Homo-oligomer: A and B are copies of this chain.
Amino acid sequence: MPSSPFQIRPLFDADWPATWAVVEPAFRRGDTYPYPRDITSEAAYEIWVAGAAKTFVAEDKTGTILGTYYLKPNQPGQGSHVCNCGYIVANSARGMGVASQMCEHSQQEARQDGYRAMQFNFVVSTNAAAVRLWEKLGFNIVGTLPEAFHHPEKGYVDAYVMHKKLVNSQWTVRDQRGRQWLPFRFSSLAKSLSDLLRH
């Protein structure tokens, strides 16, 4: 794989039209995400940006948006230590490693924000390239939802729940309120160190 000719940075509201141009074809195709295929830009913004904790874009040197992902807690309250992400790559940017690098980036972000694991709730089983990529990046299939996705061409197909631990349980230290903090501090330290070395 060539060295990445793109950077990953937070999405700003002004990026939405260009980001929607990446998201729209995926939602219209309707073979990877369960959102209504006739979803509007506004409803997609609610899901992808407003309803997420953070949204990022991958952009090339000319400022063209090649991909986007969101990061959010997968559950509220007692489930909020596990995050959830969704990724979309522009059709024109396939094969450049955009999904892979966005996923690695999201794991860094998630560790930094103190999440203990990342879970994908609904990976369509017929999306073999995605399943293969997530497995390569350390995710395991922890659940199979029978016929949970109504594929526009293939009919009712299974969806997978995929999962990756982001912290080594052995490192975990909890404070008196039961919150774990060592991996958080450790990853912040590691990031500060890595930022320092980069300058």
Contact = CB atoms under 8 A, between A and B. Distances in A.
A178 to B, nearest CB: 7
A83 to B, nearest CB: 11
B142 A145 contact: yes
A145 B161 contact: yes
How many of these chains are in the complex? 2
Most chain B Cβ neighbours within 10 Å, of A30, A39, A79, A119: A79
Interface residues of A, number: 41
Given A35-B78, A81-B150, 13 more contacts: A30-B78, A33-B78, A34-B78, A36-B77, A78-B152, A79-B122, A116-B147, A116-B156, A142-B145, A142-B146, A143-B144, A146-B163, A146-B165
Interface in A101-158: 116-117, 119, 121-122, 142-152, 155-156
A192 to B, nearest CB: 27
